[in-house]
Amino acid sequence: MISSAGGRVVVIGQGYVGLPLAMRAVEVGYDVVGFDTDKDRIDLLKRASTFIDDVDDAELTTALASGRYRPTSDRSALAGFETAVVCVPTPLRDGAPDLDYIEEAARILAGHLMPGCCVILESTTYPGTTEEVFVPILEAGSGLRAGVEFSVGYSPERIDPSNRTWRFHNTPKIVSGVDAKSTAVVREFYDSLVECTVPVPGTREAELTKLLENTFRHVNIALVNELAVHCHGLGVDVWSVIDAAASKPFGFMRFTPGPGVGGHCLPIDPTYLSWQSRRALGQTFRFVDLANDVNEHMPDYVVVRAVEHLNRRHKAVNGSRILLAGLAYKLNSGDARHSPAMSVAKRLNALGAELCAVDPLIDPAQVPVGVQMVPCAPEQIARADLVIVLTDHDAFDWELLERHAERVLDTRNRVRAAGVERL
């Protein structure tokens, strides 16, 4: 049951995680300050212009018109909050988690902490970050004690961009705190936003829960990716094998192969687990390292398959016109972060291919050098020596592609036509 809401909330970071949270908080009745240090992003938000899949311009317009959503880069606007949620990126740098954004957010908030307030970290990170890194900065900057004078908790984000079934409000939310009181306060806040909260014993458990979720996906995707390579060598249809296995009503969960992994979680998050294992235990997390190896090399494998496909027709990659269908990392999303399609494009470009691409959702600014964006039109499809399906957007006219493409390498099992070779 979602309780009624009210009060002042600050959301640090207005990206793929923070903006949907801010919109939901406005919807249920909070006064929300959406803070981001990226002034260009804030200017877009003030104009009700979206840049992510899960919040459209109409939703932004409604939030702004309510008077309860204020996007800003002005730190003074953070004063007087009751709850602050930190949703900033935690990228990998040289194989290690970069906590600079978390640390900066803590320093920014510390100057505005008041007794009785609550601060929640949502950024994905390794176990121990909340209590060993985040809390000391808050305490040092405010002179207040966490768990005594203010509450602190960790609640990992579970945003799945472009998922129209599981949205922010109906996805169960893991909640935790540095003590029992903090956990209760954090849970009360999220109970006002989502349909179900799941408390765990402490912040370390919550931090590790996020890593387990994404490592599970990463490892299983790597399993079917390696199986796809193996099946091709055996002359076996991997998609038929997966379909057959998925008929088992217990003990199996369906995962499908593709050109690799990307996005805001994979393959970054599982590497936190491997990094901490080496640091704390002196040993590697072997499943993560193996999965990284398999998934990172899938773009190379797609290029090898493309080369083989062209060679069978006595064509070289150099000079061949290759049409890439999809550049985003997943279907129905315009998100190109760490997209394996981009890696495929860069490798083919280096081999001298004449590359063009169709993707109705991606920002043109994200298109790599050497790739020409073209409309999904019969003449563009027919001109291609090879079409490679890398992202299976529902918005594509698949029937058009099937009618006009002579040769297709389909890494997503979407095209049904003669001349199609599947991963």
| Strand ranges for 105-249 from DSSP E | 118-121, 151-154, 173-177, 197-199
CATH of 210-295, one of 3.40.50.300, 3.40.640.10, 3.40.47.10, 1.10.1040.10: 1.10.1040.10
Report the pLDDT value the prediction gives residue 96, as an integer from 0 to 100.
82
- Which residues face 93 on adjacent strands? 96
pLDDT tens readout for residues 368-399: 999 999 999 999 999 999 999 999 999 999 99
pLDDT tens readout for residues 25-43: 999 999 999 999 999 999 9
**pLDDT by position in tens, the chain (length 423):** 344 567 999 999 999 999 999 999 999 999 999 999 999 999 999 999 998 889 999 999 999 999 999 999 999 999 999 999 999 999 988 878 899 999 999 999 999 999 999 999 999 999 999 999 999 999 999 999 999 999 999 999 998 888 889 999 999 999 999 999 999 999 999 999 999 999 999 999 999 999 999 999 999 999 999 999 999 999 999 999 999 999 999 999 999 999 999 887 777 888 888 888 888 888 888 889 999 999 999 999 999 999 999 999 999 999 999 999 999 999 999 989 899 999 999 999 999 999 999 999 999 889 999 999 999 999 999 999 999 999 999 999 999 999 999 899 999 999 988 879 999
Give start-end residues of each CATH 1.10.1040.10 domain in the chain.
210-295
297-422 adopts what CATH topology?
Rossmann fold (3.40.50)
d(CA 50, CA 289): 36
CA gyration radius for the chain? 23
Kindly tell me the sign of the dihedral angle through the C-alpha atoms of 355, 361, 363, 364.
positive
d(CA 325, CA 335): 15
The number of angstroms, rounded, from the C-alpha of 203 to the middle of its chain's C-alpha atoms is 22
Pick the catalytic residue from 87, 117, 231, 265.
Answer: 265
Give start-end residues of each CATH 3.40.50.720 domain in the chain.
8-201, 297-422
pLDDT tens readout for residues 339-372: 999 999 999 999 999 999 999 999 988 999 999 9
Kindly tell me the sign of the dihedral angle through the C-alpha atoms of 307, 311, 314, 316.
positive
Using CA atoms in the order 31, 5, 177, 140, what is the torsion angle rounded to 10 degrees? 30
Using CA atoms in the order 271, 272, 274, 279, what is the torsion angle rounded to 10 degrees? 140
Report the pLDDT value the prediction gives residue 5, as an integer from 0 to 100.
65
8-201 adopts what CATH topology?
Rossmann fold (3.40.50)
pTM of this prediction? 0.92
Strand pairing class (96-97; 92-93) = antiparallel
Query: How distant, in Å, are the alpha carbons of 93, 159, 268, 272, 342 from that of 280?
Result: 18, 29, 19, 12, 34
Tokens of 275: 């990094």
d(CA 141, CA 109): 8
Is 356 designated active site?
no
